Amino acid sequence: MVEKFVERIEEARPSSSGTGTVEVTLRRDLGLLEVLMIGIGPNIGSSIFVLIGIAVGIAGPAIILAFILNFFVTLFTAMAYAELASAFPETGGGYLWIHEGLFPPFGFLGGWMSWVGHCIACAVYALGFGVGVQALFEQYDIDFFGLSPDVIGKLFAALIAIAFIYLNYRGVKSAGRSEILVSAFLIGILALFIAFSIGYVLGNGAAPDAFAPFWAFGSMSIATSMAFTFMIFEGYEVVAQTGEEAKNPERTVPRAMFLCISISCFIFVLVAIVTLAVLGWQETAAQGESALVAASALTVPILGGALISIGIIIGSIAAVNSIVFSASRVSFAMGRDGNLPGAFGKLHAKNQTPSTALVVSGVIIVFAVLTLPLASVAAVADILILLLFTLVNVAALTLRKKRPDVKRHFITPFFPVIPLIGIGTKLFLAVALFSYEPFAWYLAMAVIFVGLLLHYFAKGRKEIERVEVPERTPMTKAELKKYRVIIPVDEPNQAIIDIGCILATRHNGEILFTSIVEVPNAVPLDAVDPARVMEKRKMLEKLKNQTEARGVPVRGLVAVSHEVVTAIIETAQEEQANMILIGWKGYTNTKKRILGRKLDEMVRRTPCDLIVLRAEERLRPESILILSGGLWHVSSATAVAADIAAANASRVTILNAIINDKYLTKAREYAKRLTGIVQDAGVPVITKEIRPETIVGGVVSESLEYDLLVMGTSAVRAWEHFDFGPIQDKIIRNAKCPVLIYKHVVASTAEERRQREEEEREEIEEEKSERVQEKATGMKER
């Protein structure tokens, strides 16, 4: 994908006298599960909840057959998508391939229909949100300022669309991999609905007209219903937009596409069957967009229809978020290619988001929400998406001839028969919609006409260059075996660099400085401002030259990513790092965090040993205090403290804080072992025992007399809200001197693992005793 960016960077940077350059990479941070859930969100969002009733009104019970046939029809185009995604994984999806494979104006029309089609599909999901809110208000007799149900639905639909446009405009990031949680929640709601509906049918029998007559409106109605519901299979088009962020996209994206289609079809068929069995097809059709709410009211105890209403609301949120992401990316890519006015391809100076693309997308979405009924909006979206998929199949044919040199990790079988069938079936379904909603066809043609006017009279004058980087050369086995310290750098911290040099020198290893350029999710990685990358690169080159002058081998890496923590962790995994060194300023903006959101996540997810240092100035300690303990974390921390002491001629004190004589003997054994570690490094060391009321208070008080406090983490369970342990978390925040805390991740031998587990159990008992003592002290003070 990627050679132009380095050329642009090299042109922009001044000549350097350094011994080497700093690498730049685009960090792919989405695995198969994350990519799959990005596609599942739109597929099982509000559309499955609100369109089944309308679709039954078109085809009757044959909607079940329509879903199954749609699965196979979708597979024909999905194969073309899979082949093209495996060959051209860059951001843009269908638009990119049509632009590459077809002559003007079809390249533009592919992007235009993809963008507007996604916007109108987003309006369907937003209207679904309004239906969910409206149903909840009706179920619980909530009077919302005297507004009618229809107005309430439109109002909340517009509000959810505006909210997500604003969040994407501001560059607000979703918490972690929220798509996984939301999609799992939706599947759970549908599973409950299906289970309760089956129970209801087994106890009360199916409705008399559940599945008869099956061909209620004739065979042509099946084609019409297939076309009307086709948009609920569009999730794999959203998946195609993730090619630039997916790990191993040539395989991950095609797999996610096929899984997305298969899982979605299975759910759709089950939901349709149980809904028809509970209500009967005539009542399902009469209920329209509220059919599932009505079925849930009969079958689900306690919550009743509220279960589906909540599902509609949550599903709409997931779908709107995914489609806003996809729609803005397509229009942004078109702006960069010169197929839309240049403003679409530029980023907001402060937020670094495609502001024009987002705002105009928002206007289209809100306009469709406020002016069109749900059925018409869905039909327009279906027509544009079907025409888009037709062009993608054509592009799959032409790119085989135009770009035979590109490696395809997935090859469409029975080529060119499969793409030709895809073209025929998509055109047939699009035409079939005319009999159901002719107005939708007129509106779709108007959209295409407006697009052509823009293409010929208002498109951008030139293409905006992308940021592209070469793929990193894999490291050899010998290089991977080398001891490696990773130091993430946002602002240079000399104390961290000093410790990194000590560790790298002691182990005959190297330092890898890495700095992350974080971009919002709405922005493709290669759209990052090159000036931001250059700023980071210059900083790392300066640090690299300064550190190499001390005789330490150094490399530098600038990574562009959507997630800082994930980028650092994956860099550590790829480099098989032995140590990550991070600095902490000593405070956080919220009491809910120990060190802050990113640092807390880094501590909990680190794949290798990790040191956190609370120090803002250069570290030259004359006296070092080591808090004694039994775990391997403490032994490793002591070894590092001994190295620091040897480099700075420091005095070392091992501190034993005793609050319960029950552990006195064991504590002295621990202190003796740590003393031996320091003595082996040739550093003078003494042991000091104190008997404070609490360990935290005693250690904090002792820290007043030292230049550096060193600790190891304690046994922290995954479900506990601690970074290093209940005692260590308090000490690192309250100590009166710089603090170094060590987390040891991997035990090297079976014996070490056994001892570690035994000592963890003992430390847990000691911590329990400490907590009891603290509570008793607190009660005594009160």
Whether 4 shows a pLDDT value over 70: the answer reads: no
**What are the C-alpha distances in Å from 649 to residues 688, 709, 734?**
20, 16, 26
CA separation for the pair 455, 111 (Å, rounded): 11
Q: What residues are paired with 711 via a beta bridge?
A: 741
Whether 470 shows a pLDDT value over 60: the answer reads: no
Least confident of 23-32, 63-72, 598-607: 23-32
Whether 675 shows a pLDDT value over 90: the answer reads: yes
Question: 3-state SS of the chain: helix, strand, coil percent to 5?
Answer: 65, 10, 30
Which element (helix H / strand E) includes 687?
strand 685-690
pLDDT tens readout for residues 361-386: 999 999 999 998 888 888 999 999 99
Whether 616 shows a pLDDT value over 60: the answer reads: yes
Q: What percent of the chain has pLDDT over 90?
A: 44
pLDDT score at 511: 96
pLDDT score at 207: 92
Whether 262 shows a pLDDT value over 70: the answer reads: yes
Angle between helices 220-228 and 46-59 (to 10 degrees): 160
Residue 667 pLDDT level (bands cut at 50, 70, 90): confident
pLDDT score at 522: 72
**What are the C-alpha distances in Å from 768 to residues 689, 698, 743?**
20, 17, 21
pTM for the full predicted model? 0.74
Q: What residues are paired with 157 via a beta bridge?
A: none
Residue 6 pLDDT level (bands cut at 50, 70, 90): very low
Least confident of 271-285, 505-519, 650-664: 650-664
Q: What are phi and psi of 611, to 5 degrees?
A: -120, 130
pLDDT score at 46: 67
Peptide bond into 105 cis (omega under 30): yes
Whether 82 shows a pLDDT value over 50: the answer reads: yes
Q: Give the mean pLDDT of 274-299.
A: 93
Structural tokens at position 247: 């790990």
Give CA 89 to chain center in angstroms: 18
Q: Give the mean pLDDT of 556-578.
A: 90
pLDDT tens readout for residues 318-358: 788 878 877 888 888 888 888 888 888 888 888 888 889 99
Place of tokens 């040199």: 405
Peptide bond into 738 cis (omega under 30): no
**Region of residue 695 (phi > 0: left; psi between -120 and 50: alpha; otherwise: beta):** alpha
**What are the C-alpha distances in Å from 237 to residues 108, 257, 283, 462, 705?**
17, 8, 33, 27, 63
pLDDT tens readout for residues 208-239: 999 999 999 988 999 999 999 888 787 777 78
Residue 761 pLDDT level (bands cut at 50, 70, 90): low
pLDDT score at 444: 93
Helix and strand numbers (H, E) in the chain are 28, 11
Whether 779 shows a pLDDT value over 60: the answer reads: no
Q: Give the mean pLDDT of 691-711.
A: 93
**What are the C-alpha distances in Å from 170 to residues 255, 332, 354, 418?**
32, 16, 10, 43
CA separation for the pair 45, 320 (Å, rounded): 9
pLDDT score at 512: 96
Q: What residues are paired with 555 via a beta bridge?
A: 512
Q: Are 354 and 332 in contact (CB under 8 A)?
A: yes
Kindly calculate the radius of gyration of the chain based on its CA atoms and give it in whole angstroms.
31
* Range ranked top by mean pLDDT from 23-27, 444-448, 519-523: 444-448
Residue 202 pLDDT level (bands cut at 50, 70, 90): very high
| CB count in 10 Å sphere of residue 207 | 18
Q: Are 35 and 253 in contact (CB under 8 A)?
A: yes
Reported for 759-766, long-range contacts at CB under 8 A and 24+ positions apart, including other chains, are 759/630, 759/631, 759/632, 760/631, 760/715, 761/715, 762/630, 762/663, 762/666, 763/629, 763/630, 763/631, 763/714, 763/715, 764/714, 764/715, 766/660, 766/663
Side chain identity at residue 504, one-letter code: A
- Computed over every residue of the chain, the mean pLDDT equals 84
pLDDT score at 15: 40
pLDDT score at 9: 46
pLDDT score at 458: 65
Provide the Cα torsion 362, 366, 368, 370; round to 10°. -170
Which residues have C-beta within 8 Å of that of residue 627, sequence separation ≥ 6? 634, 655, 657, 699, 709, 710, 711, 712, 731
* Range ranked top by mean pLDDT from 124-138, 310-324, 739-753: 124-138
- Among 30, 71, 393, 469, smallest CA distance to 242 is for 30
Whether 141 shows a pLDDT value over 80: the answer reads: yes
CA separation for the pair 722, 348 (Å, rounded): 38
Using DSSP bridges, classify how beta strands 739-743 and 609-614 pair: parallel, antiparallel or unpaired: antiparallel
pLDDT score at 702: 94
pLDDT score at 92: 65
Whether 16 shows a pLDDT value over 70: the answer reads: no
Which residues have C-beta within 8 Å of that of residue 401, sequence separation ≥ 6? none
pLDDT score at 467: 52
pLDDT tens readout for residues 731-752: 998 999 999 999 988 644 444 4
Q: Are 16 and 459 in contact (CB under 8 A)?
A: no
Structural tokens at position 401: 């001839």
Per this entry, what is the length of the chain? 782
Q: Give the mean pLDDT of 691-698.
A: 90
pLDDT score at 352: 82
CA separation for the pair 293, 69 (Å, rounded): 26
Q: Are 519 and 528 in contact (CB under 8 A)?
A: yes
CA separation for the pair 652, 632 (Å, rounded): 19
Residue 472 pLDDT level (bands cut at 50, 70, 90): low
- Among 201, 223, 200, smallest CA distance to 211 is for 201
Instruction: Find the farthest-apart pair of alpha carbons in the chain and give their distance in angstroms, rounded.
Output: 93
Place of tokens 């329990």: 768
* Coil, helix or strand at residue 381: helix
Whether 646 shows a pLDDT value over 60: the answer reads: yes
pLDDT score at 391: 94
pLDDT score at 772: 52
Higher-pLDDT residue of 9 and 151 is 151
**What are the C-alpha distances in Å from 399 to residues 73, 92, 387, 394, 737?**
22, 16, 18, 9, 64
pLDDT score at 771: 53
Residue 19 pLDDT level (bands cut at 50, 70, 90): very low
pLDDT tens readout for residues 431-448: 999 988 899 999 999 999
Higher-pLDDT residue of 758 and 118 is 118
CA angle 696, 702, 705 (to 5 degrees): 150
Whether 177 shows a pLDDT value over 60: the answer reads: no
Residue 773 pLDDT level (bands cut at 50, 70, 90): low
Per-residue buried b or exposed e for 363-375, using 16+ beta carbons within 10 Å of the residue's own CB: ebbbebbeebebb
pLDDT tens readout for residues 28-56: 777 888 888 878 877 777 677 888 999 99
pLDDT score at 18: 40
Higher-pLDDT residue of 526 and 130 is 130
Q: Give the mean pLDDT of 483-504.
A: 92
The order of strands in the sheet holding 609-614 is 23-26, 554-561, 510-518, 484-488, 579-583, 609-614, 739-743, 708-712, 623-627, 651-657, 685-690
pLDDT tens readout for residues 539-553: 999 999 999 999 999
Q: Give the mean pLDDT of 657-681.
A: 88
CA separation for the pair 201, 196 (Å, rounded): 9
- Among 131, 164, 162, 522, smallest CA distance to 366 is for 162
Higher-pLDDT residue of 476 and 260 is 260
Q: Are 66 and 429 in contact (CB under 8 A)?
A: no
Residue 17 pLDDT level (bands cut at 50, 70, 90): very low
Least confident of 84-88, 258-262, 441-445, 472-476: 472-476
| CB count in 10 Å sphere of residue 150 | 11
Q: Give the mean pLDDT of 624-653.
A: 91
